[in-house]
Amino acid sequence: MTTPNQKRSTRPAATTGLRALPASVWVLGGVSMFMDMSSELVHSLLPVFMATVLGASMITIGLIEGVAEAAAAITKVFSGAISDYLGKRKWLAVLGYGLAAVTKPIFPLATTIGWVFTARFIDRIGKGIRGAPRDALVADITPLELRGAAYGLRQSLDSIGAFIGPLLAIILMVLLANDIRAVLWLAVIPAFIAVALLMFGIHEPETPSAESATRSRLTLTDVKRLPRRYWLIVLLGAVFTLARFSEAFLVLRVQDVGLAISYVPMVLIVMNVVYAATAYPAGVASDRFGHRSLLIVGLIMLVLADLVLAAASSPLPALTGAALWGLHMGLTQGLLAKLVADTAPADLRGTAFGIFNLISGGALLLASVIAGVLWSVIGAPATFVAGAVFAVLATLGLLSYPGKP
């Protein structure tokens, strides 16, 4: 059966670039931008808040970050499968974004680490609910030949929000005399803007009636229809994630090497400026050239980032490492999403993103716990050296694989 995406994919190859992307892709990018503005404003200060105000250890911070991201990953499996079964993506995404928005006030109200853990856990559940349906919706509304550009644009707009959030954190910390709680309250506003934009700015494409008539309850048999190449992408994503633990450790590293608390969010600004600047060009390049070279370059950037962060003894080298980290993210994250979309059957796309994020989330939990333990037992440089080792192993594995990733 010919799907709407297949019909649209007959568009001439010359129709490329930002103007060729559907308006809904831009709106989804805006939704991601505002929510990331809110989330990164919080996350740029939260590790310091946990360590200094609430007295949490590095192991506790690593455990909280890892468990929260793993919860998001597990939830994505179910939300992706449900969106495939219902043939609807938008309102699951609204639920996820809404849940994340209502948790934002909990952070400034927190008086114990348990409050923060609860807020992070619920916030990441919201991320899990929205992630797979949103990523599948991008593929649903975008012609096949423009998917790399679409995922790259969404990642770029997402990263712009992730740049603005920490920038606001710095400005507000200076204006409010380092009152972290007061600054965290301001994160509530863009979160609710994101929810409103998604509710009123996106019109989900209709599911073909023939497809609706033949849809049945999802079973393990459906999962078996996912091709071998898809599972290789899942494995690759997991190894990537083992090499890239929670960004909370970037925030803690710049504080560790002497950056004043008011300017600690600068590390996420630097990272996300580079991320935003490279994600869309990398997405366009993935539509035109081979995937392997971009993935390998991205891994090399991660190795360099980890080594620079391990060796840093002052803020400038640490910020340089953060820039290389952002370059790695820009080169790889949109590309991995494109590879999942390209290798999964259209009717299992939400499930495919859910499984991918589940495995990656488990890897992130493990990576963050390892990072926290190494930091506490050996020291901060050991955390980043371990990340570099995992990145080197991933690079060697990618080089040794004979076929396309």
- 200 contacts: CB under 8 Å, gap ≥ 6: none
Q: How many CB atoms lie within 10 A of CB 314?
A: 11
**In this predicted structure, what is the pLDDT of residue 313?**
93
Per-residue pLDDT tens digits for 367-396? 888 999 999 999 999 999 999 998 898 888
**In this predicted structure, what is the pLDDT of residue 320?**
96
User: What H or E segment, with its residue span, contains residue 400?
Assistant: helix 380-400
Residue 217 has pLDDT above 90, yes or no: no
pLDDT band at 144 (very low <50, low <70, confident <90, very high): confident
87's torsion region: left (phi>0), alpha (psi -120 to 50) or beta?
A: left
Per-residue pLDDT tens digits for 74-116? 787 777 778 777 777 888 889 999 999 999 999 999 989 999 9
pLDDT band at 7 (very low <50, low <70, confident <90, very high): very low
Please tell me the pTM assigned to this model: 0.70
Per-residue pLDDT tens digits for 278-302? 877 887 777 776 677 788 888 899 9
Residues of the chain above pLDDT 90, percent: 32
Report the helix count and the strand count for the chain, using DSSP H and E. Answer: 19, 0
What does pLDDT average to over the chain?
83
In whole angstroms, how far apart are CA 260 and each of 74, 185, 267, 309? Answer: 37, 21, 12, 17
Residue 397 has pLDDT above 80, yes or no: no
- 335 contacts: CB under 8 Å, gap ≥ 6: 148, 151, 282, 283, 286, 291, 294, 295, 298
- Sign, CA torsion 373/235/239/157: negative
Concatenate the DSSP letters of all residues of 310-330 into one string: HH--SHHHHHHHHHHHHHHHH
pLDDT band at 327 (very low <50, low <70, confident <90, very high): very high
Which carries the bigger pLDDT value, residue 22 or residue 391? Answer: 391
Is residue 335 within 8 Å of 285, Cβ to Cβ?
no
Domains of the chain in sequence order: 23-203+226-400 (1.20.1250.20)
Tell me the three state secondary structure of residue 10: coil
Per-residue pLDDT tens digits for 155-188? 788 878 888 999 999 999 999 988 999 999 999 9
